[in-house]
Amino acid sequence: MKNKSYIGTAFIILVFGIYFVPKIIDRIKNNDVVKGDRLNIEGTPTSTKSDLMTIGKAPIFSLINQDKVMISNESYKGKVYVVEFFFSTCPSICPIMNRNMKLVQEAFATNTNFGIASITIDPKNDTPEVLKKHAELISAKGINWNFLTGDRTKIFEIANKGFNLFVGQNTKIPGGFEHSGFFALIDKNGNIRCRKDEFGNPIIYYDGLEQKGVTAIKQDITKLLAE
């Protein structure tokens, strides 16, 4: 009886080998070994979430662009975008920010899922007409690059309270206004995102005046576009 049992077991193993082993070999060749298992359901896309930190929601805004079109944060829904605060007659850091923002824009010029919001802090002077000329002067191009103006009080609230990026009027300095030189990075869901510094702390915003900051934000835009 034992011999018959051994013979039966051997026959089952032989059949298993003839039928299933070639299939297993084919799956290995096709890198398909784990498809359909309980840990990775076949047809379910894997996550592309990046390692960037989420700081919080970007503030709501609604402003007029250089073409007199109303632009809001909803206009950028589903897009990765960068926000800066500037003014066209700025004699100090704005030209540097403009130049560096152009480098960012040029890196993603053909990507319709990327945009820029350059918000003036001197709306009395920076009308849509002035902003349009300014964009032409600095050769700012891009279908989603908006130069925005509106009520100064609201703009100051967006910057100081919404983004916590300082802007203010100061008649004692050239240009009459002061502001930070940082760029804010916003993801497709309207969240402020950033990388960590060498100590593991969030940098919050990117230095728009230094090449290091420009390189970092371009790298992180690429990550967010892939999410």
Quote the pLDDT of residue 115. Answer: 97
**Both structure tokens of 147:** 């130069």
Q: How far apart are CA 183 and CA 54, in angstroms?
A: 15
pLDDT of residue 39 exceeding 70: no
More confident residue, 205 or 142: 205
Contact 52, 216 (CB under 8 A): no
pLDDT, tens only, 144-185: 999 999 999 999 999 999 999 999 999 999 999 999 999 999
**Backbone phi, psi, residue 15, to 5°:** -65, -40
Residue 81's identity, in one-letter code, is: Y
Quote the pLDDT of residue 57. Answer: 98
Residue 106's identity, in one-letter code, is: E
Q: How far apart are CA 5 and CA 38, in angstroms?
A: 34
Instruction: Identify the band that residue 143 occupies on the pLDDT scale cut at 50, 70 and 90.
Output: confident
